């Protein structure tokens, strides 16, 4: 379980959410000038942002725990139950099991139509954060390039 990641996100999101909520409460309770109409809206918006930040942190931590649970389930050994006892090997032996038809030796090309192909990637381990990180990186790269190299 990624304990360090969970503790870091809990502390980070918790402090930010608490700071936003306390700031909103202090804004609502503190003094302000007579015609400051945005003061109440600012306090309410700060409290709402604090609650939203806390909710997002909770959602992300729950997602990390769920992803860890799925990863552990995926790594577990899967054994298909057998309905009947194992059958005896074929009379010609087990050497040809799994080879495409027409292959005489392992590594040779098939002489008849059937089987063959190329190696394929069956599984790739990726995180759910890879795509958003790539998008943010590309946007940051675009903005940095525009700021530094755009004609003035």
pLDDT value at residue 38: 85
How far apart are the C-alpha atoms of 64 and 8, rounded to whole Å?
A: 12
pTM: 0.49
Query: How many CA atoms lie within 13 Å of 98's alpha carbon, on the beta-carbon side?
Result: 4
The per-residue b/e assignment along 17-32, b for 16 or more CB within 10 angstroms, e otherwise, is beebbebbeebeeeee
147 in a structural domain? no
pLDDT value at residue 37: 79
- Domain limits for position 10: 1-77
pLDDT value at residue 78: 75
| Phi and psi at residue 35, to the nearest 5° | -100, 25
107 in a structural domain? no
Number of other CB atoms surrounding residue 50 within 10 Å: 20
25 in a structural domain? yes
pLDDT in tens, 83-125: 777 777 766 666 655 555 555 565 555 555 444 555 566 667 7
pLDDT value at residue 5: 82
134 in a structural domain? no
pLDDT value at residue 131: 84
pLDDT in tens, 34-84: 777 788 889 999 999 999 999 999 998 998 889 888 888 888 877 777 777
95 in a structural domain? no
Alpha-carbon distances of 45 from 30, 33, 35, 49, 53, rounded to whole Å? 16, 19, 19, 6, 12
pLDDT value at residue 150: 79
| Phi and psi at residue 62, to the nearest 5° | -65, -35
């Amino acid at each position: 379980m990624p304990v360090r990641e969970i503790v870091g996100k809990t502390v980070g999101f918790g402090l930010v959410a608490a700071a936003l909520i306390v700031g909103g409460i202090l804004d609502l309770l503190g003094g302000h000038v007579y015609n400051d109409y945005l003061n109440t809206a600012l306090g309410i918006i700060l409290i709402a942002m604090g609650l939203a930040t806390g909710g997002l942190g909770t959602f992300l931590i729950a997602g990390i725990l769920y992803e860890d649970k799925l990863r552990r389930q995926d790594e577990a050994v899967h054994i298909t139950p057998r309905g009947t006892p194992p059958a005896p090997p074929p009379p010609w032996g087990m050497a040809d099991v799994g080879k495409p038809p027409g292959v005489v030796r392992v590594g040779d090309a098939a002489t008849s139509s059937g089987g063959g192909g190329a190696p394929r990637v069956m599984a790739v381990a990726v995180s759910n954060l890879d795509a958003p990180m790539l998008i943010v990186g590309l946007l940051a790269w675009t903005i940095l390039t525009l700021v530094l190299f755009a004609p003035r």
